Amino acid sequence: MQKRGIHLVLLYLFLWVATFVYFLVRFSRRNESLSEYISFFFELASRKFILIGFHILFLLCCLLYLVLVHFVNVGRKKGSRTAWRQFSFRFLLPIVFLVVGFKTVVFINANEGHDFQWDHGAMNTSGKTNHYYEIDQKHRGASVFGWSDDNTEAINNLIRANVEWVAVVPFLHQENERTSQMDVPVSMETYSRRDSSIVRAINDLHNKGLHVHLKPHLWMNEGWRANIQLKDEEAWDQWFESYRKNMLKYAKIAQETNTELFCVGTELKTSIKKQPEKWRSLISEIRTLYDGKLTYAANWHDEYEHIDFWDQLDYIGIQAYFPLTKEEHPTLESIEKGWDKHLAALEAVHKKYGKPVLFTEVGYKSTPDATIKPWEWGSYFNKYTMKKSDRTQQLAYEAMFKKNWDKPWFAGIYIWEWQNRTTAESAKTDLDFSPRFKPAENVIAKWFGTYPSHQKP
């Protein structure tokens, strides 16, 4: 028993070393020092979701180790032939049945039978952006994730779908809703590893003729950024000062990279209600560092209508996850009708402040209920428990464009989310937001490749 315990401790250490070596190989092509890499590794390793995933892997390895020990002992007592027979029938065969069973369930759930006819003429095969924004001022945008050292293919795929604007999203970090200070930049003058990655993506996009929207997001291990609740005024002041330092750093990066649009915040409702004057002061301070356009990304529910600093910004930014239907597998007509109750409010806030409305995010999953609660994230296990519906995602985008795109006060959209790592094969079973290789991508390309009717040249 003691010997097994030592083996498990060694296994635990081996997994950490193997993980470290994996990250070392994975990022070896980047121009960073070993100390920077080690710092990055320990930063990742301290994150809660990384620790949970690592220990799940460790438990699986422990189980495999105990299974192997058991059958080795069987071999010693009853012979290797008996051990292999028992190992095959009692361990390998059940695993094969489970894998085949799970794959069968995924195949059945993903087999929608959707007869969408892809319009290849809607795709931009020229390899160059259309530059329609310079004509009609509409943002044909996507929130893009999965950048790498070589972004050439990723950017060409965006151009193919007539995307002209890209939201680059760096993440700020704090532990939970009651954390009074988020992580702050070590230096305002030098780029961190993450900063360098962001700058590289921005430069790559500009080199291919695309516009950039730099849109920092606050990410928490637990909770949601819109529900921050701090114990007293001192904690709120401390929190905002740490937020201010982050935003000034990114405003400086936006200025240095000639980024065309900068988002001063995303879904920070409780802070805005608690600290309205601090937000006005921050926006004014950002204006002294950055001479591009500004927006704020307000939640669709109980936020965008109550913000009073829209007058300081260039766009009224809305995270447009409006609920549109109450039923699954909706028709195009029912989704369009669902927009009617929201359009009046959107036009009203535009008239009040005289600013165009920009959907800083809008997205739908490939699920039958995608238009009921569009803001809800999916789970990896959804593909085992839920039917796929590319049709619902496709119709949701079609309705969104039909109801909003031609409005004179509408400044455009950013699709949530465009995932560079999506492949044609993975898209067949993917129930999440990414429209790549799905009918929704073709719909987006079609609309992005046209002018609003009132502004046709």
Residue 299 structure tokens: 């939640």
How many domains in the chain? 2
The verdict on 68 and 181 lying in the same domain is: no
Answer whether residue 224 is part of any domain. Answer: yes
One domain for residues 136 and 63: no
Query: Which pLDDT score, from 0 to 100, does residue 341 have?
Result: 92
Residues 62 and 134 in one domain: no
**316 falls within a domain:** yes
Q: Is the per-residue pLDDT at 28 higher than 60?
A: no
443/360 same-domain check: yes
Q: Examine residue 64 and state whether it is found in any structural domain, yes or no.
A: yes
Look at residue 457 in the predicted model and tell me its pLDDT: 40
Q: Which domain CATH number covers 379?
A: 3.20.20.80
DSSP state of 359: E
Provide the domain limits for residue 257: 120-455
Could you tell me the end-to-end alpha-carbon distance of the chain, in angstroms, rounded to an integer? 80
Instruction: Give yes or no: residues 124 and 26 share one domain.
Output: no
Q: Give the Cα-Cα-Cα angle 25, 30, 35 (nearest 5 degrees).
A: 80
Contacts 24+ apart (CB under 8 A), 104-107: 105/384, 106/383, 106/384, 106/429, 107/429
- The angle formed by the CA atoms of residues 168, 174 and 179, to the nearest 5 degrees, is 145
CA–CA gap between residue 343 and residue 320 (Å, rounded): 11
| 73 lies in the same domain as 149 | no
The C-alpha atoms of residue 211 and residue 201 are separated, in whole angstroms, by 11
CA–centroid distance for 339 within its chain: 24
Mean residue pLDDT of the chain comes to 89
In a domain, 342, yes or no: yes
Q: Does 253 lie in the same domain as 148?
A: yes
State pTM to two decimals. 0.85
Residues 60 and 130 in one domain: no
**Weakest-pLDDT range from 25-29, 62-66, 403-407:** 25-29
Shared-domain flag, residues 305 and 393: yes
Structural domain includes residue 313: yes
Q: What is the pLDDT of residue 154?
A: 95
3-class state of residue 419 by DSSP: strand
Same domain, 26 and 149: no
Q: Is residue 37 scored above 70 in pLDDT?
A: no
* Residues constituting the chain: 457
Determine the average pLDDT of the residues in 256-278: 96
Chain segment 355-390, per-residue pLDDT in tens: 999 999 999 999 999 999 999 987 777 777 789 999
Task: Single out the residue in 28, 60, 78 at which a domain terminates.
Answer: 78
Residue 420 corresponds to which tokens in the numbers above? 């560079």
Q: What's the confidence (pLDDT) of residue 172? A: 93
Question: 60, 78, 96 — which closes off a domain?
Answer: 78
105 in a structural domain = no
As separate numbers, helices (DSSP H) first and strands (DSSP E) second, the chain gives 16, 10
Residues 226 and 323 in one domain: yes
Measure the CA–CA gap between 115 and 436, rounded to whole angstroms. 17
In a domain, 90, yes or no: no
Share of the chain above pLDDT 90, in %: 64
In a domain, 225, yes or no: yes
Last residue of one domain, picked from the residues 45, 78, 111: 78
The pLDDT, as a whole number, for residue 269 is 96
Nearest-CA neighbor of 8 among 81, 63, 75?
63
Are residue 164 and residue 223 in the same domain, yes or no? yes
